[in-house]
Amino acid sequence: MLVPIFTLKLNHKINPRMVAIGKYDGIHPCLTAATQAGKVFIHNPHTRGQRPAAHRLSQSRQDSDISLLNINQAVSCLTAGTLGPNTTGHTLLVGSQTNLLAYDVHDNTDIFYKEVTDGANAIVLGKLGDIQSPLAIIGGNCALQGFDFEGNDQFWTVTGDNVRSLVLCDFTADGKNELLVGSEDFRVFREDELVTEMAENETVTSLCHMHGSRFGYALANGTVGVYDRTARYWRIKSKNHAMSIHAFDLNADGVVELITGWSNGKIDARSDRTGEVIFKDNFSSSVAGVVEGDYRMDGQIQLICSSVEGEVRGYLPASKEMKGNLMDASVEQDLIRELSQRKQNLILELRNYEENAKALPGVLQGESKKGVIPANTQLQTALSVRRATESQRAHIRCPGDTPSETIIRAVLIFAEGIFEGESHVVHPSIQNLSGCVRVPIIPPKDIPVDLHIKAFVGGKTSTQFHVFEITRQLPRFSMYDLNTDPSATQPTGKVTFNLNDRPQRVVMWLNQNFLLPEGIDSPDITFTILRAGGLLNINMQPSGEITLRADDIDLAGDLIQSLASFLAIEDLQAEADFPVYFKELRATLTEVDEFHSVHQKLTAAMADHSNYIRNMLVQAEDARLMGDWRNTKKRYIELYDLNRDLINEYKIRSNNHNALLARLKSVNQAIQRAGRLRVGKPKTQVITACRDAIKNNNINALFKIMRAGTALS
């Protein structure tokens, strides 16, 4: 059994997912974590009594090994590593919702302190693509930004939603790092070029590089797993939340395992190939972070786990004598108990089959209540689109049909991202039992989903049932109906692009990605959008020009990305016009300018009030020392009123800031949407040109770029 080689009790609470190890003097590893009240603590047991307090750094009164770094803002992310070419040790990087601090702990100095308007929800430090110097890359409000050691903005791009996690890894196996971004789904960037996207049904909260192109991930719904590029090796789901994941070779077999720290205090290590648990331990409170480092300075790397209450444990990799047996005896007993239970279930199932075989001669006289059904019984399923009625929303109908002499007692459907808890069970009442069960399915967004269907089928008087299993794939664009209303308003938005491909290939894409009752043979088609309403029109000219008409710019982007992926198109230019959306965006940009103006006025007003308060306080104290109680009381009443005004101004400023962030997010999403209407280099060019237009406050150029896909003069 593997046990901790050291345990520490730090008198500081630790914020989840904000733990790092840094060698700030180039030699001694220090545990660093964000704590309450806008502070970061640095635990350094190696050089006691040698750290004078200076600048931002102060000594903790509770623990002589801990120094506190005052950030004066709520910390949202932190990391440590080599940023500059000539620095002695690692640089500490601390992000908040408004700023990024690069701090030299050894010299007690700021390296740079940058304002980041999109916030910093996640941070990673390292080399990206062909950029020579290491970058501190932060992910915030739909945007990614990278700074070098001087604080210069070397990298910027937009992504689909709020960034929750980041990791650098060689995803494409070209010898250069790509940036893997976790938000509502996965996105992989080669510098500012989007390499690939992978849909997930929950927010990606944690990422870690394992080896090669393999990486571990954790979702907000308690799922953890491993991908190798776009192929998922395994995943498991827990009722608890994964707070931190890390790759570490705990059983010393030469291959890293996925170490997960959970919200219930459990730590487990799983095989990167199968997901099998090879080790687990428990804290008394939620895990805050999992890191690695030679914390005992003895040449051996330890796995270091910390809890939110400040408990820290270090584990060494297993020795050869343990032969990979990291569990205690009770776990082995649990496994034996589980196998025994499985054996009993198999014996019971075998007994049922034997009884069915004995009852077979009496089935013709109808005297058996066993689960005997005709040998040719099949479960038929045919997915179909159903429009909304007064009693039911628009949905996809999944029927289960069997021959008339049998009934379906229950149906279980397992599907990621469609049902709460990922599964749905239908039990028809005794009075409504029949050979047909219809299940409505409503996909929340356009992603392909595998439906794993299990049905209990038996005779009308059966007490035992056969389980039929079948898997059907729900195509990506399934909530679109071929039947259209002639009086429906035609969409005003459109995208036009040219394909050097045969119409038959576009027809193949339509048949594979839409739920069509019968195959179509023409690329000219109109759908009713069931989820949001409106029409979708697809038209292809003999010259290869395709026009997509829809009012939803997100739908147009999804269609273009899906078609480009199906036809293996690397670069695709397009012209677009979405009058309604562009009008809303123009209004949003006007509001951004107004909020910026209000922000500056409020900041100036607060500065004036602060100076006035300083003078008023001096006058009040002078009056008090001179015994002039009348003026003392008068000045302190004025101070009280000023303080109340300052608090009210702060609330207004805070609301203004939140509204500004929401508008900036909309602008970043607009740039992302304009990019998704193109593929490859044209996409990158549009995103870069849009950002330059916003920097120069050239709104007209911005809309020209979004429409034409190029920077027009």
The per-residue b/e assignment along 28-58, b for 16 or more CB within 10 angstroms, e otherwise, is bbbbbbbbeeebbbbbbbeeeeebeeeebbe
In one-letter notation, the amino acid at residue 194 is L
Q: Strand 231-237 vs strand 242-248: parallel, antiparallel, or unpaired?
A: unpaired
Q: What's the start-to-end Cα distance of the chain, in Å? A: 70
| Residue 640 CB burial class (10 angstroms; 0-12, 13-18, ≥19) | exposed
Three-state secondary-structure class, residue 100? strand
Q: Which two three-digit tokens encode residue 270?
A: 């799983």
The CA–CA distances, whole Å, from 192 to 188, 574, 580 equal 10, 19, 29
* 488 close to 369: Cβ distance less than 8 angstroms: no
- Helical (H) or strand (E) element with 339: helix 329-359
Q: Which residues of the chain have pLDDT under 70?
A: 1, 48-63, 320-332, 356-372, 711-713
Tell me which residue of 711, 673, 666 sits closest to 693, measured CA to CA: 711
Q: Which two tokens stand for residue 368?
A: 């058996």
CA distances from 95 to 121, 173, 187, 373 (A): 8, 30, 22, 65
Q: What structural domains and CATH numbers belong to the chain?
A: 380-474 (2.60.40), 480-559 (no CATH), 579-708 (no CATH)
| H helices, E strands: number in the chain | 7, 42
> Sign of dihedral through CA atoms 575, 576, 582, 588?
negative
179-181-185 Cα angle (round to 5): 145
Strand order in the sheet with 143-147: 122-126, 135-139, 143-147, 153-158
Task: Tell me the residue type at 694.
Answer: I
Closest CA to 258 of 234, 293, 282, 294: 234
C-alpha span between 53 and 44 (Å, rounded): 14
What pLDDT is stored for residue 418 in this prediction?
A: 85
Instruction: Report residue 20 as tokens.
Output: 């790092």
User: Rounded distance, CA 24 to CA 70, Å?
Assistant: 17
**CA nearest to 178, candidates 142, 126, 245, 223:** 126
For the beta sheet containing 384-386, the strands, ordered from the edge strand earlier in sequence to the opposite edge, are 384-386, 395-401, 436-441
Backbone angles phi and psi of 240, in degrees to 5? -95, 170
DSSP codes, 403-427: -TTEEEEEEEEE-TTTSGGGEEEE-
Buried residues in 197-210 as b, exposed as e (16+ CB within 10 A): bbebbbbbbbbbbb
Sheet holding 535-540, edge to edge: 480-481, 525-529, 535-540, 545-549, 494-498, 575-577
Using alpha carbons, select from 289, 373, 345 the residue that is nearest to residue 78: 289
Evaluate whether 304 touches 313 at the Cβ level (below 8 Å).
yes
Write down the pLDDT at residue 493: 94
In this prediction, residue 122 carries a pLDDT of 95
Burial class (CB in 10 A: 0-12, 13-18, 19+), 180: buried
- Pick from 252, 239, 254, 178: nearest CA to 209: 178
| Whether the Cβ atoms of residue 119 and residue 658 lie closer than 8 Å to each other | no
The rounded distance, in Å, linking the Cα atoms of 228 and 511 is 29
Residue 109 has a CB neighbour count (10 Å cut-off) of: 13
CA distance linking residue 274 with residue 233, whole number of Å: 7
* Sheet of strand 311-315, all strands in order from the earlier edge strand to the far edge: 6-9, 311-315, 302-307, 287-293
3-state secondary structure of 301: coil
How many Å apart are CA 560 and CA 563, to the nearest integer? 5
Q: Write a three-state SS string for 385-404.
A: EECCCCCCCCEEEEEEECCC
Instruction: Indicate left, alpha or beta for 460 from its phi (over 0: left) and psi (-120 to 50: alpha).
Output: alpha
- Cα Rg for the chain, rounded, in angstroms? 31
| Residue 408 to residue 428: CA distance in whole angstroms | 8
**Spatial separation of the C-alpha atoms in residues 40 and 34, rounded to whole Å:** 4
The burial of 418, by beta-carbon neighbours within 10 Å (0-12 exposed, 13-18 middle, 19 or more buried), is given as buried
DSSP code string of 608-674 = HHHHHHHHHHHHHHHHHHTT-HHHHHHHHHHHHHHHHHHHHHHHHHHHHHHHHHHHHHHHHHHHHHH
Helix, strand, coil shares of the chain, percent, nearest 5, are: 25, 35, 40
Decide if 638 contacts 653 (C-beta within 8 A): no
Closest listed residue to residue 675, CA positions, set 523, 547, 546, 557: 557
pLDDT score of 368: 46
Contact 405, 411 (CB under 8 A): no
Element holding 194 (H helix, E strand): strand 193-199
Q: What pLDDT sits at residue 360?
A: 55
How far is residue 310's CA from residue 290's CA, in Å, rounded to a whole number?
13
The CA distance from 625 to 200, in Å, is 67
Cβ(242)–Cβ(206) below 8 Å = yes
Burial (CB count within 10 angstroms: exposed 0-12, middle 13-18, buried 19+), residue 166: buried
- The per-residue pLDDT for 654 is 85
| DSSP 3-state of 314 | strand
